Each structure stands twice: as C-alpha cells, then as structure tokens.
C-alpha cells in the first residue's frame, strides 16, 4: 500500500465489499485545542474511529519525552478496540498539516502493520471533494491486530548523536526553535549538534496536500541527503518528525529512522550538548 491515498480512492474503498473496507482512524489533534474529539463529533468520515494522539498514539509523558512510544500491549489493546485487523488496510487523517496522521502511519508501520496510508489533504480535502460526512460515532467490531514492534527503525539519543556526525539527522522543527531563538515547550533551546534543519511544514502545500515525490526528492537533496546515506529525523516530541519519515519514503528514501524521544527527551539531560544558530554545529 502506498503511503498516501486520495479522497477519491478512499471513498471507492469505503463503498466496496464490507470485508475489504479499510479501517479509518480520525486522529485530529491540536496543541492549543479545541480537542480533536469535539471536531469528530461535529463531523467525520463515515465509519472513522476517533483515535487520540495523547492516549493511544503515545505513552505517558515523562523521562522518555512528551510523546514517547506507547507500550506495545497498550497499543495493541487500543488498536483492537478501534477495529484494526491484521487483514485490513488502515487509513489515517487529520485536519491540519498531515503530521499527526503521519504519526499514526509511522506507529502502525512500527507495530508491524504494512497496509497503512495517510489521507492526502486530510479532512479538508474530504469535505471539499463533496464526500459524505457523519456525526454518528463509530462502533467497530473488535480487531485482531498483533503489535510486533520493530517494523520501523527507532533511534535512541546516542544513535541520533552518532548519525548527526556520520549520516544526516534532520530536525523537523520550525527554524526559530532549531536556532535556539525560542523554546516554548522543552527544558532547553537549540538543536542536536550536527543536525540539519528541515521544517516539516515544507512537505505539504497550502491546501494540505503532500508535495509531489520529485519536489520532495529535490528538497532532501538540497538539504544534503546523498543516495544511500543513512538518514533519520527528530522534532520536539516525535510527532512531526514522523511526517519527515513519510516524506522521505515518498521521495524514494524508505526506512529512515526516527528519534522517538526527540528534543523533549534530549533536552532533559543536562549532559547532552545543545547547538544554537543556523549552522548544524
């Protein structure tokens, strides 16, 4: 399954035989609110199951960062409750820049479920395309997915530091946070020494659709990525960096790593250095 699915293709799949329909996850989330669950109640893709970023797609915040990976047993329980089946594809959507949907895509891939995609353009594309919406909460039959971690590479802090020296480590945050000009959330400002700034917002257009593979490939080449070079991404808490991994896959660089703890994990340790300014350091 390709990492992206169009609204037209999703509508066709949902109109197909019941046994072949994808499981759709509504993962709308906003740091400053309103809650995604409120948006879900106001309208969603018919049959979509609301899936909370903080409760399902991440573990409890703490030493591992603000959005650490969830416990596999908890993730399996929650995905089964959402109706995720080993034999059925999954489609995730949000209503912003695609980054939270990319987190769901990445997490399911990490959990061993390969048939997963992000809805290109998200909920806005679905509604602007004239597709139906529902206010009825989904009541899925329990799924049977077995979570098997390891389907996508995960880096710890030491591995991220090494890759920043020996490969290409991309920092997905906005430039003012990368440079250390501001840090509104985490303990310290700056970036991992050697990391290159690659704001995730550049991977989608103003209408929320993902940029073409050739555009993404050119962007990563401009950032210094060479064919076959090891590459990974991090951000503030491991969410928006997932969209960098997806963009890399679209651009022809599959299997990029993710520093799941990201800056929220790195910056908690006063022994780890922080670079500032526009250069990698």
Catalytic residue ranges = 235
Closest by CA to 82, choosing from 39, 140, 38, 18, is: 140
Cα angle for residues 52, 53, 57 (degrees, 5° grid): 105
Q: Residue 242: which H helix or E strand, with range?
A: helix 240-250
Contact 68, 263 (CB under 8 A): no
Backbone phi, psi, residue 189, to 5°: -95, 160
Q: Using CA atoms of 79, 82, 87, 88 in order, give the dihedral in degrees to the nearest 10.
A: -120
The angle subtended at Cα 201 by Cα 82 and Cα 112, nearest 5°, is 35
HSE-up (13 A, CA, CB side) for residue 36: 23
């Amino acid at each position: 399954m390709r990492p992206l699915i169009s609204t037209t293709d999703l509508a066709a799949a949902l109109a197909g035989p019941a046994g072949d329909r994808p499981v759709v996850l509504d993962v709308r989330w906003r740091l400053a609110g309103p809650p995604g669950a409120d948006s879900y109640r106001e309208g969603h893709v018919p049959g979509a199951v609301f899936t909370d970023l903080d409760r399902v797609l991440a573990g409890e915040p703490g030493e591992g960062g603000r959005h650490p990976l969830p416990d596999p047993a908890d993730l399996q329980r929650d995905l089964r409750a959402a109706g995720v089946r080993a034999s059925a594809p999954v489609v995730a959507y949000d209503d912003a820049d695609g980054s939270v949907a990319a987190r769901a895509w990445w997490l399911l891939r990490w959990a061993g479920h390969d048939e997963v995609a992000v809805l290109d353009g998200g909920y806005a594309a679905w509604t602007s395309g004239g597709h139906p919406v529902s206010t009825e909460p989904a009541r899925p039959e329990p799924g049977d997915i077995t979570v098997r971690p390891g389907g996508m590479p995960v880096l710890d802090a030491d591995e991220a530091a090494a890759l920043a020296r020996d490969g290409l480590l991309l920092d997905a945050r906005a430039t003012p946070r990368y440079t250390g000009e501001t840090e509104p959330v985490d303990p310290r400002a700056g970036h991992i020494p050697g990391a290159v700034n690659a704001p995730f917002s550049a991977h989608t257009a103003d209408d929320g659709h993902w940029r073409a593979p050739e555009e993404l490939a050119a962007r990563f080449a401009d950032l210094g990525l060479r064919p076959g070079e090891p590459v990974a991404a991090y951000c503030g808490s491991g969410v928006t960096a997932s969209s960098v991994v997806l963009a890399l896959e679209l651009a022809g660089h599959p299997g990029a790593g993710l520093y799941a703890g990201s800056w929220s994990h790195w910056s908690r340790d006063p022994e780890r250095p922080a670079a500032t300014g526009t250069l990698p350091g």
